[in-house]
Amino acid sequence: MEEIKQYSAKDFKSDQYVRWCPGCGDHALVNVLQKSMAEIGIAPHETAVISGIGCSSRLPYYMNTYGFHTIHGRGAAVATGVKVANPNLTVWQITGDGDCLAIGGNHFIHSVRRNVDLNVLLFNNQIYGLTKGQYSPTSKKGLVTKSSPFGTVERPFRPAELTFGARGTFFARTLDVDLQTAQTVLTAAAQHKGTSVVECLVNCVIFNDGAHGWLADKANRADRSIVLEHGKPMIFGSNKDKGLVLEGFNLKVVSIGEHGVKESDILIHDATCEDATLHQKLAMMEGPDMPIAMGVIRQVAAETYDAAVENQIKEIQAQTSIKNFDDLVDSLEQWEI
Amino acid sequence: MGKPQDIELEQAVVRFSGDSGDGMQLTGSLFSNISAVLGNEISTYPDFPSEIRAPQGELGGVSSFQVHVGGKIHTPGDQADILVAMNPAALKINVNAVKKHGAIIYDVDLFEKKDLEKAAFSTDNPFSELNISDTIQLIPLQLTTLTKESLKDSGLDNKTILRSKNMFALGLVCWLFNRPMEQAIHFLETKFKKKQSALAINIKVLTDGYNYGNNLHLTLSRFIIEKSHDVQKGRYTSISGNTAAAYGLIAAAEKAGLPLFLGSYPITPATDIMQELAARKDVGAKVVQAEDEIAGITTAIGAAFAGSLAATNTSGPGLALKSEAIGLAVMAELPLVIIDVQRSGPSTGMPTKTEQTDLLQALYGRNGESPVVVIAASTPANCFHYVYMASKIALEHSTPVIVLTDAFIGNGNSLWKLPKLAELPEIQPNFVKPEMQACKVTARNEVTKARYWSFPGMEGFVHRNGGLEKDYDKGAISTEARNHEKMVKVRAEKVQYVSNSIPDVNIVGDKNADLLVIGWGSTEGHLTSAVEELNKQGKKTALAQFTYISPLPKNAAELIRSYKKVVVCELNTGQFATYLRSQVQGVEFLQYNKIQGQPFTVAELVENVSTLC
């Protein structure tokens, strides 16, 4: 048996100078991605990293894998083509909130709907950075930017809601300053068969500094977020004394030990539940009353598009005597002249 | 009165016309297939509205199928010897499509007052209202009554029975042209393999139509069309341009030893190409019906990046949507085949009608300096050849190639001599070589300028490609001024280099004429017939029909300059003429143009070109 090669993060690092702004959240995530790739152990030449346009879409240049920096919004479609053409490859798609949810919104929902086996890292900084500071489809309503000098009047997308609406099989969330969760989530995304959407909350220090500040604040992060783990109770807080329960159709934060609440009353996270209702409730939680859900929120098994395409071809090929072009020509209605 | 004599013809044109739900396309294609089996050349022209079921009996819903059968055929024919008109609307729309001494077979049962009103006739005599020449023979036929009679014992409802009228008409026309029933029945058997009940009904009505003709023989002449003699011996089928294009991709992928990928989005009149390939899982074709035109091409670009023979197909509006992505394929120097089945534009235009108006879009319709190879097929059958050659060029020169066909040859049929894969030209994709390990993404063959192709899965060749300008040597992204100019020129030289492997353009007609007629793509048949006719009339004319557009064949400029007078005939306002003016200096290019959503007629070409002779 061939020895399985051990990789280190360095094997996935290219020789290119990283051109993101100092302090940009993308720096941390490219490092985590390289570590995750080493952990997964797929060879660099079996890995393709596809991106669209935007700050985050520069990422393929920093990877020592096959990479394709395509055009604005079309990364999902190009990645679909790569994966369908060669399902043996591990395909990552790097995208941002503008690239993925504005110009590329159509490709995003359809790749999710088809469940193409892609690992999608959606870098959400709630701003257009590369064009120097216009609001994006995820910018908070009222955000003052260069293109919204009086504040935006638009309602933002929630990427999780879109993913579930498109019948997504995997959704996870992580934060640029929480490297441990980031690596867990990226590795889980890579191991999931299907479109794995990972919303990476990243900070744009130049144009939208502190957009995720309430959550990122290290001192309070444990109380303001909950890192979900499949099969584990939904407990959070610096003292691990808060938890989530259902009250009617809604989630509610309770304190363990108060008002007779026991640890056994706390919900257990089931990421594999087909019904996305609770996943959506979790993903939509917002401060200050609720913690923000991090980690793998949804991970359900379903046939991937790329496998389905291959399987259908194999099925048909097993039934037919037409094996090649000459057979095809022979099978046509024809006559001698 | 004696039995009329049989009439011998070298060729004949039949036009079937009715409501878009009357099955005229099926009827016409069955008649052309039957004729082809009998050894005739065929050329067909389906002409139909974009409405699926337009209001019955009205002018907007008329669907026609014209077929030219016999020998020495280049076109579907200007006008029909026999027009089959299923209702007054079909008569009205097609009245000018009948020859002076032709005949009109019409369903007299549907020429009542209310039927005439639907077709906007104001009197009760449509024939005089349309000024139909008395040289045209009118053959009233109780098609509705006779079809009902034929199926009276079938137990079928009236609606189903009336749907079979087209088979009665086909039976009669088969008799009229001496086409044996066995062949017709054989085709029906194939067509209705999975619907045995429908098969029996169709055969019954078809046979009754044929026998009705036999009984009519007392009053009607029968046509005898000789087998064609100038067709090369071999195996043939009748094929549409769209099907031929799909087969061209299949053959090229197998010849190159590559998987085949098509990314596509439904659009009239190009959709058949996708449907043909979607049905060919047996040969392993992967088809993604994408969410839009842009995803159609970008999935294909992804597949090209991943090592497939990748293609996308579309029509004009879709080509516009794909422009930016074609630019990406130019910049990333990936092999890609783009098939544009042109239709009337701009915007949605006339989706089912033909036109040659995407030429300049194909050549120039992108941002930046963005050269691609542009090829045009000229007959339904040779869509196979040109799509095959487009694939070969794309793979060997690492470039996108646009193949222009149009609604006329995409939907039309002609005879196709069945090839064997072994007979087709070799395809050697411009792969990296093992000794090039760790080469840069921009590494290229310094003679052809074609970028070497490596793709994910190949060890030792990881690279980053993309839409940003790259350094010629290092392959890294670069905005260095002189490097950009160098890269722009290299990409252009690469496309120009293709001219070394394409055939010279040939002259048809009288090489020594003063007048050169120039055409491109699907007008070949009409222009060939027109030039033959002009020379027959003693008006010396030469024809150069172009299929390789960008780059032009190497002999193009010299050949064009050797004529005193040059006229470019095309179905647009002068796009090829405009292009030639930029490529061949010192020539006055005259123009003859038509922009009616219809092919040329030979007659109008002869009339207009002869004024220049």
Domain positions in chain A: 1-216+303-337, 222-293
- Cα–Cα distances (Å) from B342 to A242, B75, B144, B536, in that order, read 65, 18, 38, 33
Residue B148 has pLDDT above 60, yes or no: yes
CB B168 within 8 A of CB B212: yes
Pick from B251, B281, B302: CB nearest A80: B302
CATH architecture of A1-216+303-337: 3-Layer(aba) Sandwich (3.40)
How far is B431 from B455, CA to CA, in rounded Å?
A: 9
What single-letter DSSP state applies at residue A169? S
The length of chain B is: 613
Coil/strand/helix, residue B600: coil
Residue A269: per-residue pLDDT: 98
Pick from B190, B286, B291: CB nearest A84: B286
Closest CA to B545 of B536, B535, B532, B556: B556
CB atoms within 10 A of CB A134: 16
Chain B residues in contact with A61 by the CB 8 A cut-off are: 464, 477
Q: Helices H, strands E: what count in chain A?
A: 11, 12
Pick from A65, A107, A317: CB nearest B462: A65
Closest CA to B568 of B502, B523, B538, B506: B523
Nearest CA in chain A to B35: A335
CB atoms within 10 A of CB B54: 19
Closest CA to A253 of A302, A212, A293: A293
CB B103 within 8 A of CB B84: no
Chain B residues in contact with A80 by the CB 8 A cut-off are: 288, 295, 299, 302
Chain A residues in contact with B235 by the CB 8 A cut-off are: 334-336
Please count the residue pairs, one from chain A and one from chain B, whose beta carbons lie less than 8 angstroms apart.
201
Residue B3: per-residue pLDDT: 65
CB A97 within 8 A of CB A109: no
The length of chain A is: 337
- Cα–Cα distances (Å) from B163 to A331, B93, B144, B209, in that order, read 30, 21, 10, 14
Put simply, the answer to whether A317 touches B282 (Cβ < 8 Å) is yes
Compute the Cα dihedral for B183, B185, B189, B191 and give only its sign.
positive
How far is B357 from B573, CA to CA, in rounded Å?
A: 8
How far is B445 from B372, CA to CA, in rounded Å?
A: 18
Best mutation target among B30, B305, B384, B459 (most A Cβ atoms within 10 Å) is: B305
Phi (first) and psi of residue B11, to 5 degrees: -155, 160
Percent of chain A with pLDDT over 90: 97
Give the mean pLDDT of chain B.
Answer: 95
Q: What is the mean pLDDT of residues A159-186?
A: 98
Chain B residues in contact with A89 by the CB 8 A cut-off are: 306, 456-457
pTM for this structure? Answer: 0.96
Chain B residues in contact with A81 by the CB 8 A cut-off are: 261, 263, 288, 298-306, 310
CB B423 within 8 A of CB A12: no
Residue A124: per-residue pLDDT: 98
CB B254 within 8 A of CB B282: no
CB B605 within 8 A of CB B569: yes
Residue B115: per-residue pLDDT: 94
- Cα–Cα distances (Å) from B165 to B81, B184, B211, in that order, read 21, 16, 15
Residue B1 has pLDDT above 70, yes or no: no
Best mutation target among A42, A57, A74, A94 (most B Cβ atoms within 10 Å) is: A74
Per-residue pLDDT band for A134 (boundaries 50, 70, 90) equals very high
Put simply, the answer to whether A45 touches B457 (Cβ < 8 Å) is yes
The lowest-confidence range among A134-148, A313-327, B184-198, B515-529 is: B184-198
How far is A187 from A200, CA to CA, in rounded Å?
A: 14
Q: Which residues pair with B374 in a beta bridge?
A: B402, B550
> Would you give the end-to-end CA distance of chain A in angstroms?
58
Coil/strand/helix, residue B409: helix
| Domain architecture of chain B: domains with CATH | 7-222 (3.40.920.10), 238-423 (3.40.50.970), 507-610 (3.40.50.920)
Most confident of A32-36, B24-28, B29-33, B56-60: A32-36
Pick from A48, A64, A313: CB nearest B284: A313
